[in-house]
Amino acid sequence: MTRTAPRPVATTLSLILGCGAIAVAMVTILAGPFAPQPDAANSLGEFAGSALKAAWGSMTDKPVAAPPPEAAPWDIDRVLAMTVSVAGAAALATALFALVRGEPWKPATATATVAVAAIALPFAWQVALLICGAIIIAAFFGAIAEVFDFGG
């Protein structure tokens, strides 16, 4: 007697969760941020000012006390990011359950790949943005150095 594979219920659920997580991640990346954001010029100016204060304090041996960190409030962007992570992890767990249950391995492995992609996509996007931001900040400090002629 041959054993038939069970119906791919867990694989289907994993596919739905993984595709939903990727869809939410893409909406967050392409259409977001949805919460009000501070002005980039003000943020960059505050960053440059605090960096210059810290540099001046280290030159004069008077370190500047940093303000205590504040917890970021929960907004729609953080909720969407958490939703993507939770749905991706649930899709991965469901795909692994489908493999253990004995469902066809090709669709279950494909849904596991979709789940991993849903989890990794926001992180890869953040890394790309961090690299771009580092380049912009380096160019900004280079321009400041040119204007004030530090060490030239």
Segment 35-88, tens digit of pLDDT = 888 787 777 778 778 777 877 777 777 776 767 778 878 899 999 999 999 999
pLDDT band at residue 150 using 50, 70 and 90 as cut-offs:
low
Beta carbons of 117 and 20 less than 8 angstroms apart: no
Nearest by Cα to 53 from 42, 69, 64? 64
Residue 147 placed within a domain: no
Range 17-37 average pLDDT: 92
Q: What's this model's pTM, rounded to 2 decimal places?
A: 0.72
Of 39 and 100, more confident: 100
Beta carbons of 24 and 87 less than 8 angstroms apart: yes
Residue 115 placed within a domain: yes
Residue 112 placed within a domain: yes
Q: Which domain holds residue 18?
A: 8-34+76-121
* Count of the separate structural domains present in the chain: 1
One DSSP character per residue, 91-107 reads HHHHHHHHHHHT--HHH
